[in-house]
């Protein structure tokens, strides 16, 4: 995207508000919607990948050690990963807590 | 040049859609638009028009199909009336925002209830602010001409807007009139093949119809408003080119015997021709009466309208729709708004007439003018009268 959304004027919009740049939804960081965030306990994680599969925002990706890590720029805090985790390795904590 | 033939206006309208070499027709039959859709369906069935005819299950689906086909780059046509328009209205707004140059004929009919199939303008006024270019035809020839004009202007790269061609239900749709059709060669000279700016195509993927958060929605509305207002030069150019080609010249505001007229009757649609007959009669009686026919309803030609009324002392404005609890009919509100704050302030008298197909004769126009001239008509800003209502 040429400019962040909040800086675009009406002149910057294409005819019919067509988006010509594929995949630019990535620029739209929906992570600031959440009030709760998932925290992973690596001791309990069995690398099953269910959090990765169930995440409706595709916020999880696997790191080099085989853990599935959430990208908080896109996580909306829905808690599905914590609910589905078979070993209860994921807990939802308030956004402001470390 | 084509020859003049006697033809039902609905058939002439479908002939124009055929001559425009339309790619997709998606429509649901509804009185009084039915004949137009039926004839198009026949043209496609017997191979006269190489198009997809999509027999949808509702008008909501009709406009949805039109969005898809226009987005894919197809020249797209639909046609509806009254309840059909109300049902499709959700998608009508989206077509304008997505700048898809669909052409729609609206066979104007009153909106229920009470249930009525006859003509007035309550349907189009319900979607007045939908963002389409909106024109009114006064007779069958104008319907034929304006279907071709609508594709030509709507698809122009400087415009890219959907266009509604309004014609009065039954009063025009079901009447046989002498109409001069154009031959294919002439139409092709006026109307080039459609070349969309953006289209849904795997070679160059785009996203259409996405959502806008509050931090962008205001900018989209500003862009849409400016884009519609900026269509005016191309609208005029389209009429100029059409006039040069066919000898039939059209303008946003048509004037009839307005020179030195003290009083102007202002009308839209088929009422205009009847008003002209009445004006001839009143001129013969020595009354200084002329007629303004508003052809272009959106974008509204404010400057041209003010120019057209600059010498008039009184405007007698016809409305074929009511605005319950409001300031009068939609046309009169528009005109009062157009004149507000200007140096020249003619008296504006508003008559609501011809609801649900009730006849408005030349004698009715004379009566309304006489009521105005004798000071018996209401003239205050919020005042209007429903003409002919039994008290």
pLDDT digits (tens, 9 = 90+) for B226-248: 999 999 999 999 999 999 999 99
For residue B58, what pLDDT is reported?
98
Angle between helices B34-45 and B9-19 (to 10 degrees): 40
ipTM score of complex:
0.90
How far is it, in rounded angstroms, from Cα B29 to Cα B208? Answer: 29
In a domain, A7, yes or no: no
Answer yes or no: are the C-beta atoms of B291 and B366 closer than 8 Å.
no
3-state secondary structure B134-166: EEECCCHHHHHHHHHHHHHHHHCCCCCCCEEEE
The predicted structure's pLDDT at residue B378? 84
Give B218→chain A minimum CA distance, Å.
8
The answer to whether the beta carbons of residues B363 and B277 sit under 8 Å apart is no
> Any CB–CB contact under 8 A between A2 and chain B?
no
The number of C-beta contacts closer than 8 angstroms across A and B is 48
CB within 8 Å of chain B, chain A residues 38-77: none
pLDDT exceeds cutoff 90 at A96: no
Q: Does residue B292 come out as left (phi exceeding 0), alpha (psi in the -120 to 50 range) or beta?
A: beta
Is it the case that residue B1 has pLDDT exceeding 60? no
User: Is any Cβ of chain B less than 8 angstroms from the Cβ of A27?
Assistant: no
Q: Which residues contact B374 (CB under 8 A, 6 or more apart)?
A: none
A50 falls in which pLDDT band (50, 70, 90)? very high
Answer whether residue A8 is part of any domain.
Answer: no
- Give the domain B253-386 fold: Rossmann fold (3.40.50)
Domain-located, residue A37: yes
* Nearest chain B alpha carbon to A16: B98
Domain membership of residue A21 (yes or no) is no
Between CA B128 and CA B134 the distance in angstroms is 9
Contact: B160, A16; criterion CB under 8 Å: yes
pLDDT of residue B128: 97
Q: Per the CB < 8 Å rule, is A10 touching B98? A: no
Are the beta carbons of A18 and B227 separated by less than 8 Å?
no
3-state SS class at A82: helix
Nearest to B241 by CA among B187, B299, B281, B298: B187
Is B4-245's fold the same as B253-386's? yes
Instruction: Yes or no: say if B18 and B49 are a contact pair by the CB < 8 Å rule.
Output: yes
Burial status of residue B361 (CB atoms within 10 A of its CB: 0-12, 13-18, 19 or more): exposed
* Amino acid B18: pLDDT: 98
pLDDT, tens digit (0-9, with 9 covering 90-100), for B254-280:
999 999 999 999 999 999 999 999 999
Contact assignment for B160 to A15 by CB distance below 8 Å: yes
Determine the pLDDT at residue B383.
86
DSSP structural state of residue B361 = -
B230 to chain A, any CB pair closer than 8 A? The answer is no
Planar angle of CA B234, B248, B77, nearest 5 degrees: 60
- pLDDT exceeds 80 at position B382: no
Dist CA B36 CA B15 (whole Å): 9
What tens digit of pLDDT does each residue of A35-49 get? 999 999 999 999 999
Tokens at residue B315, please?
A: 């405007």
- Which single residue is written with the structure tokens 């602010």? B129
Residues of chain B positioned with their CB less than 8 A from the CB of A10: 219-220, 222-223, 226
Count the helix, strand and coil residues of chain A and give each as a percent rounded to the nearest 5: 30, 15, 55
pLDDT range class, residue A98, cuts 50, 70, 90: low
Arithmetic mean of pLDDT over chain B = 96
Contact list in B for residue A6 (CB cut-off 8 A) is 215
Q: Where are the alpha helices (DSSP H) in A3-60?
A: 50-54
Q: Does B206 touch chain A (CB under 8 A)?
A: yes
Band (pLDDT 50/70/90 cuts) for residue B122 is very high
In chain B, positions 121-180, which contact chain A (CB-CB < 8 Å)? 160
**Nearest CA to B42 among B78, B11, B84?**
B11
Q: In Å, how far is A8's CA from the nearest CA of chain B?
A: 8
> B290: distance to nearest CA of chain A, Å?
41
- Does residue A64 lie within any of the structural domains? yes
> pLDDT tens for residues B315-370?
999 999 999 999 899 999 999 999 999 999 999 999 999 999 999 999 999 999 99
Q: What pLDDT does B310 receive?
A: 96
Number of domains in chain A: 1
- Please tell me whether residue B264 adopts helix, strand or coil conformation: strand
Q: What φ, ψ does residue B291 adopt, rounded to 5°?
A: -130, 135
Task: Tell whether the model's pLDDT for residue B2 goes beyond 70.
Answer: no
- DSSP assignment, residue B207? B
Whole-angstrom distance, CA of residue B255 vs CA of residue B290: 8
Give me the percent of chain B exceeding a pLDDT of 70. Answer: 99
Strands B76-80 and B163-168: unpaired
B220·A13 Cβ contact <8 A: yes
**Class of domain B4-245 as given by CATH:** alpha beta
- Report the chain B residue with the minimal C-alpha distance to residue A6: B215
pLDDT tier, A95 (very low <50, low <70, confident <90, very high otherwise): confident
For the cut 60, the answer to whether the pLDDT of residue A1 exceeds it is no
- Calpha distance B15→B300 (Å, rounded): 29
CATH number at residue A88: 3.30.70.20
Residues in chain B closer than 8 A to A22 (CB atoms): 205, 207
Residue A86, domain member (yes or no): yes
Tens digit of each residue's pLDDT (9 = 90 or more) over B189-216: 999 999 999 999 999 999 999 889 898 9
Identity of the residue in B208, B212, B216 whose CB atom sits nearest the CB atom of A16: B208
Q: Any bridge partners for residue B178, and if so which? A: B6
B-chain residues near A17 (CB < 8 A):
97-98, 210, 212, 220, 223
Q: Is the pLDDT of residue B103 over 90?
A: yes
- The boundaries of the domain holding residue A86 are 29-93
pLDDT reported for residue A3: 77
Does the beta-carbon distance from B215 to A5 stay under 8 Å? yes
What's the rounded Cα separation, in Å, for the pair B142 and B166? Answer: 10
pLDDT digits (tens, 9 = 90+) for B59-75: 999 999 999 999 999 99
Predicted pLDDT of residue B379: 78
**Mind telling me how many Å the CA of B339 is from chain A's nearest CA?**
29
Tokens of B167: 């014609």
Closest CA to A17 of B95, B347, B140: B95
Q: Across the interface, which of B100, B215, B226 has its CB nearest the CB of A6?
A: B215
Residue B91 contacts A where some CB pair is shorter than 8 Å? no
Residue A83: inside a domain, yes or no? yes
Domain boundaries defined on chain B: 4-245, 253-386
CB within 8 Å: A16 and B98: yes
Q: Is residue A2 part of a domain?
A: no
Please enumerate in sequence order all residues whose Cβ is within 8 A of that of B110, keeping only pairs 6 or more positions apart, or say none. Answer: B82, B116, B118, B119, B120, B122, B123, B355, B356, B357
Specify the DSSP element, H or E, that contains B165: strand B163-168
Whether A18 contacts chain B with CB within 8 A: yes
Give pLDDT, residue B381.
66
| CA distance linking residue B9 with residue B108, whole number of Å | 14
B284 pLDDT above the threshold of 60: yes
């Amino acid at each position: 995207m040429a400019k962040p959304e909040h800086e675009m004027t009406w002149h910057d919009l294409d005819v019919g508000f067509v988006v010509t740049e594929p995949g630019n939804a990535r620029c739209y960081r929906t992570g600031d919607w959440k009030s709760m965030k998932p925290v992973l306990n690596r001791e309990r994680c069995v690398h099953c990948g269910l959090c990765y599969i169930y995440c409706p925002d595709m916020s999880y990706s696997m790191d080099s050690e085989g853990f599935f890590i959430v990208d908080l720029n896109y996580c909306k805090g829905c808690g599905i990963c914590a609910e589905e985790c078979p070993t209860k390795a994921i807990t939802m904590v308030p956004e402001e807590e470390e | 040049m084509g020859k003049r033939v006697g033809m039902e206006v609905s058939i002439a309208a479908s002939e124009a859609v055929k001559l425009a070499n339309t790619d997709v027709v998606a429509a649901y039959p509804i009185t009084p638009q039915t004949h137009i859709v039926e004839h198009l369906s026949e043209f496609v069935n017997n191979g006269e028009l190489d198009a997809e005819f999509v027999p949808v299950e509702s008008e909501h689906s009709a406009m949805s199909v039109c969005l898809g086909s226009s987005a894919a780059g197809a020249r797209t046509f639909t046609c509806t009336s009254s309840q059909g328009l109300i049902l499709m209205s959700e998608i009508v707004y989206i077509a304008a925002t997505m700048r898809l140059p669909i052409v729609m004929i609206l066979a104007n009919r009153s909106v229920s209830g009470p249930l009525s199939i006859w003509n007035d303008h309550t349907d189009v006024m319900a979607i007045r602010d939908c963002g389409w270019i909106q024109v009114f035809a006064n007779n069958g020839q104008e319907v034929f001409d304006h279907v071709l004009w609508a594709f030509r202007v709507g698809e122009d790269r400087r415009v890219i807007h959907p266009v509604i061609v309004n014609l009065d239900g039954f009063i025009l749709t079901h009447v046989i009139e002498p109409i001069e059709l154009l031959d294919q060669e002439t139409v092709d000279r006026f109307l080039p093949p459609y070349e969309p700016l953006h289209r849904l195509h795997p070679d160059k993927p785009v996203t259409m119809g996405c959502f806008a958060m509050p931090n962008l929605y205001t900018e989209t509305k500003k862009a849409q408003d400016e884009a519609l207002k900026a269509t005016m030069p191309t609208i005029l150019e389209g009429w100029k080119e059409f006039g040069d080609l066919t000898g039939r010249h059209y303008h946003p505001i048509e004037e009839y015997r307005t020179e030195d007229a003290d009083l102007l009757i202002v009308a839209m649609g088929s009422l205009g021709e009847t008003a002209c007959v009445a004006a001839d009669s009143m001129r013969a009686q020595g009354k200084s009466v002329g007629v303004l026919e508003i052809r272009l309803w959106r974008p509204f030609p404010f400057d041209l309208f003010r120019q057209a009324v600059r010498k008039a002392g009184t405007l007698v404005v016809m409305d074929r729709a009511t605005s319950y609890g409001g300031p009068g009919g939609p046309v009169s509100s528009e005109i009062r708004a157009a004149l507000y704050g200007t140096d020249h302030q003619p008296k504006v008298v508003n008559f609501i007439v011809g609801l649900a197909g009730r006849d408005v004769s030349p004698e009715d126009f004379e009566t309304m003018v006489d009521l105005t001239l004798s000071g018996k008509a209401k003239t205050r800003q919020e005042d209007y009268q429903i003409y002919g209502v039994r008290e």
